[in-house]
Amino acid sequence: MILHPALIMLGAGIVIPFVPHLIRKIMLIVMPLIVLVASYNLQYGQQQSIGFINNIDLVYLKVDELSWIFVFILSIVSFTANLFSYNYSNRIEVAAQFLYVASSMGVVLAGDWITLLFFWELMAISSTFLVWAKKDETAKKAGIRYFLVHFFGGNLLLAGIFIKVSQGEYLINSLSQNMDIASIFILIGISINAAIYPLHAWLPDAYPKSTISGSVFMSCLTTKVAVYCLVRVFPGVPILIWGGVVMCLLGVLYAMFANDLRVILSYHIISQVGYMVAAVGLGSELALNGAVAHAFSHILYKSLLFMGAGTILYATGFSKLTDLGGLFKKIPGVVVLYFIGSLAISGFPYLNGFTSKAVILSAASVTKYPEVELLLYLASVGTLISTCLKVTYYSFLGEAKKSYDIKKVPINMYISMIITAVLCFVYGSFPNLLYNRLPFEMNYIPYTFDHVISTVQILLASTLAFLFFVEIMEPKEYFLLDTDWLYRKPLVFVTRKTSEVVVAIQENLGAVWGTGILSIVPFFNNPFRKLNVINSENETPEKYDPDHYRFSIGLAVTIAIMVFVGSFFYVRF
């Protein structure tokens, strides 16, 4: 019997809001562990389907090397993130977390377009509730914007899938060689979830406004599931190369100027996913392995970073660098664990970011795009400066910029961060644990002398650059203008003015119509007069009585009986 991880989480997500508090706490830990075991025990080649309309079989479980590695890492982060949120999640938030993980796994394991679309939309809906769960006005507005953007992307995906299914192509396969209108719709729909520029602004808008635990889940799932879909459906599409490079550079640039810790990390999601998107565009087996490996690593170190940022927010009540300071003296354990995550995302040797990013950089170096490798290295410099050095210098060292009491950090938060940090070290020190599970066979050694030395040189140069420009890098209260401004301001203005014009037209047309009707109605008070049935000009007008002019009901019944009798004799004789 095959245990479907997504269906286990889906069932738990439906049930968990209605169970008592103690059982809910147990399910938070036990259910992800069951899913983790079920995911690990999946075997390549396993497949399950169910009959659907028009003789279509919905392949709701299809396991191969690509789907296995993604569902496995999703199950790991499901456990660590649920453990992190153990002490304060409410019913709705817990249900949203479970359904979010379930839908993400459902997309990864789907073998047909219809199943993928169902879980894709469930992923958007459930993640929206993680934003709304914060229950303040900014989260409410951000959640609405988040939902509208994903609703738009989902409808594009629906349009493409509808065309594909109508053409008889209901199984998921690569569309790289057949870029028709359906493929373009599907690509744009997936690109929105991947936060490819300029379709990215929903991410730094919504993630920092989510709950503390919700942001951990959101940092790991939506964009990485989109990367999975790109690897599966659009390998080797050249436009993705430059889309990924732009994501890397602009994500780092915005993170440089951001002040809020979770905003900084959100922009670095865009930057790091840019590595994966560029690798998918390169399309070689080495590059695709790099995209998958980096998605795996990113889920680990990014969840660790968001856990650290969430714990700082939980303990201090602040998340802006201009408010923080001196945290190393107050919560040293949290600072050390966050620092490990920041080194991992920067590609420090013996942490998992190094072993996965190296594959992508090597794949770029052997292609006809040498400038891609250079630009990706440049993005690495900005990553170290903004996520590691800037945060450490202005938040962890020095004196606190505001007075605040440190709330005691629950032990479950520490345990979840420690587990994640250990995994970052394990997969960074023993990369073959990951390499041997990648979709394509490869014999890659990341720890060569040249590669380690060049990486260390880049990290040292980045540190020196930061120290040289440390005063310029001081965080300030910037308002970061991004592409979401287009639907925050001009689109809202255009929509309101358009609505006002439409309403004005409607009201005026209604007034004209009403005036016309009122002027015409009197002429029909007595239609027989207009038909000259009453034609004497001197005749005294009488009040119109409809019963006076119509045939009696008896005459109508008599005619009906005669027609019936006549028809009977006609048919009979």
Task: Summarize pLDDT for 60-87 with one digit per residue, the tens.
Answer: 999 999 999 999 999 999 999 999 998 8
Beta bridge partners of 320: 260
Q: How far apart are CA 315 and CA 405, in angstroms?
A: 8
Per-residue pLDDT averaged across 513-523, rounded? 70
Place of tokens 């995906």: 157
DSSP SS3 for 50: strand
Q: How far apart are CA 65 and CA 99, in angstroms?
A: 24
DSSP SS3 for 130: helix
DSSP SS3 for 54: helix
- The DSSP line for 167-227 is TT--B----TT---HHHHHHHHHHHHHHT-TTS-THHHHHGGGS-HHHHHHHHHSHHHHHH
Q: How far apart are CA 336 and CA 88, in angstroms?
A: 23
Q: Catalogue the long-range contacts made by 330-338 (C-beta closer than 8 Å, 24 or more residues apart).
A: 330/406, 331/406, 331/409, 333/409, 333/414, 334/308, 334/409, 334/414, 334/417, 335/308, 335/396, 337/304, 337/307, 337/308, 337/414, 337/417, 337/418, 337/421, 338/304, 338/305, 338/308, 338/309, 338/312, 338/391
| Rounded alpha-carbon distances, angstroms, from residue 159 to 60, 108, 177, 184, 381 | 21, 20, 19, 10, 40
Tokens of 389: 């050095």
CB 38 within 8 A of CB 3: yes
| Rounded alpha-carbon distances, angstroms, from residue 70 to 134, 294, 453 | 28, 11, 31
Q: Write down the pLDDT at residue 569.
A: 62
Q: Which amino acid is at 139?
A: A
Residue 531 confidence class, pLDDT cut points 50, 70, 90? low
Q: Is the pLDDT of residue 539 over 60?
A: no
Among 85, 93, 74, 71, residue whose Cα is nearest residue 29: 85
Place of tokens 């009453």: 534
Start-to-end CA distance of the chain, whole Å, equals 73
CB 77 within 8 A of CB 220: yes
% of residues, the chain, pLDDT over 90: 57
What is the rounded average pLDDT for all residues in the chain?
88
CB 289 within 8 A of CB 277: no
Q: Write down the pLDDT at residue 221.
A: 93
Alpha helices (H) along 53-112: 65-84, 91-109
| Rounded alpha-carbon distances, angstroms, from residue 471 to 114, 385, 464, 573 | 54, 13, 13, 111
Per-residue pLDDT averaged across 304-317, rounded? 93
Among 170, 168, 144, 180, residue whose Cα is nearest residue 488: 144
Q: Write down the pLDDT at residue 276.
A: 96
DSSP SS3 for 453: helix
When mean pLDDT is compared across 90-104, 461-475, 541-555, the lowest value belongs to 541-555
Q: How far apart are CA 160 and CA 177, in angstroms?
A: 16
Among 134, 277, 309, 97, residue whose Cα is nearest residue 193: 277
Per-residue pLDDT averaged across 343-364, rounded? 93
Asked whether the CA dihedral 80, 86, 87, 91 is positive or negative, the reply is: positive
Q: Write down the pLDDT at residue 60.
A: 93
Cβ-proximal residues to 150 (8 Å cutoff; 6+ apart), any chain: 124, 127, 128, 192, 193, 202
Alpha helices (H) along 388-489: 391, 411-429, 432-435, 449-468, 485-488
Q: Which amino acid is at 234?
A: F
% of residues, the chain, pLDDT over 70: 92
Tokens of 209: 């406004």
Task: Summarize pLDDT for 97-143 with one digit per residue, the tens.
Answer: 999 999 999 999 999 999 999 999 999 999 999 999 888 888 898 89
Q: Write down the pLDDT at residue 471.
A: 77
Q: Write down the pLDDT at residue 147.
A: 92
**Residue 147, exposed/middle/buried by CB under 10 A (0-12, 13-18, 19+)?**
buried
Q: Write down the pLDDT at residue 402.
A: 75
Task: Summarize pLDDT for 24-46 with one digit per residue, the tens.
Answer: 999 999 999 999 999 999 999 99
pTM for this predicted structure: 0.85
Q: How far apart are CA 494 and CA 24, in angstroms?
A: 46
Q: Write down the pLDDT at residue 515.
A: 79
Per-residue pLDDT averaged across 467-476, rounded? 80
Residue 480 confidence class, pLDDT cut points 50, 70, 90? confident
Beta bridge partners of 62: 47
Q: Is the pLDDT of residue 523 over 70?
A: no
Residue 547 confidence class, pLDDT cut points 50, 70, 90? low
Q: How far apart are CA 127 and CA 176, in angstroms?
A: 29
